Amino acid sequence: MAALKKSFQLKSRDFMHAGEASISVQNMLKQIGIEPALIRRVAICAYEGEMNAVTHGENGNFRIEVNTDKIILDISDEGPGIEDIEKAMEKGFSTATEEYREMGFGAGMGLPNMETNSDRMDIESEKGQGTRVVMRFSLSPGSRKNET
Amino acid sequence: MKLSELIDKIDAVVIAGDDKLDLDIERIGASDMMSDILAANLGTNSMLLTGLTNVQSIKTAVIAGVEAILFVRNKRPPQAVIDTANSHGIPLLTCPYSMFVTSGRLYAQGFTGLNGLR
Question: A55 falls in which pLDDT band (50, 70, 90)?
Answer: very high
When CB atoms are compared, the residue of B33, B65, B80 closest to A104 is B33
- The mean pLDDT of chain A is 91
* DSSP helix/strand/coil, A58: strand
Q: For domain A4-138, which architecture applies? A: 2-Layer Sandwich (3.30)
Question: A24 falls in which pLDDT band (50, 70, 90)?
Answer: very high
What pLDDT, in 10s, does the model give residues A81-116?
A: 999 999 999 999 998 888 888 888 988 889 999 999
Across the interface, whether the CB atoms of B55 and A16 are under 8 A apart is answered yes
Residue A131, pLDDT > 90, answer yes
CATH number of domain containing B89: 3.40.1390.20
What does the pLDDT read at residue A1? 58
When CB atoms are compared, the residue of A16, A51, A109 closest to B39 is A109
| Nearest chain A residue (CA) to B55 | A16
What does the pLDDT read at residue A103? 87
- Structural domain for B20, as ranges: 3-108
Distance CA A84, CA A94 (A): 11
Distance CA A61, CA A35 (A): 26
Question: A148 falls in which pLDDT band (50, 70, 90)?
Answer: very low
Identify residues of A whose CB sits under 8 angstroms from chain B CBs: 15-16, 18-20, 22-23, 26, 36, 40, 43-44, 46-48, 51, 102-105, 107, 109-110, 112-113, 116
The three state secondary structure string of chain B is: CEHHHHHHHCCCEEEECCCCCCCECCEEEECCCHHHHHHCCCCCCEEEEECCCCHHHHHHHHHHCCCEEEECCCCCCCHHHHHHHHHHCCCEEECCCCHHHHHHHHHHCCCECCCCCC
The distance of Cα A130 from the centroid of its chain, to the nearest Å, equals 15
- Decide: B94 and B12 in contact? Cβ < 8 Å: yes
Residues of B in contact with A46 (CB under 8 A): 63
B19: in domain: yes
Residue A13, pLDDT > 80, answer yes
| Nearest chain A residue (CA) to B54 | A103
Residue A143, pLDDT > 60, answer no
Distance CA A46, CA A136 (A): 11
- Residues of chain B short of pLDDT 70, as ranges, are none
Q: Does B13 touch chain A (CB under 8 A)?
A: no
Across the interface, whether the CB atoms of B33 and A16 are under 8 A apart is answered no
B58–chain A nearest CA distance, Å: 10
How many domains would you assign to chain B?
A: 1
Residues of A in contact with B31 (CB under 8 A): 104
Q: Does B101 touch chain A (CB under 8 A)?
A: no
What does the pLDDT read at residue A147? 36
Query: To probe the interface with A, which of B31, B36, B38, B66 has the most A CB atoms within 10 Å?
Result: B38
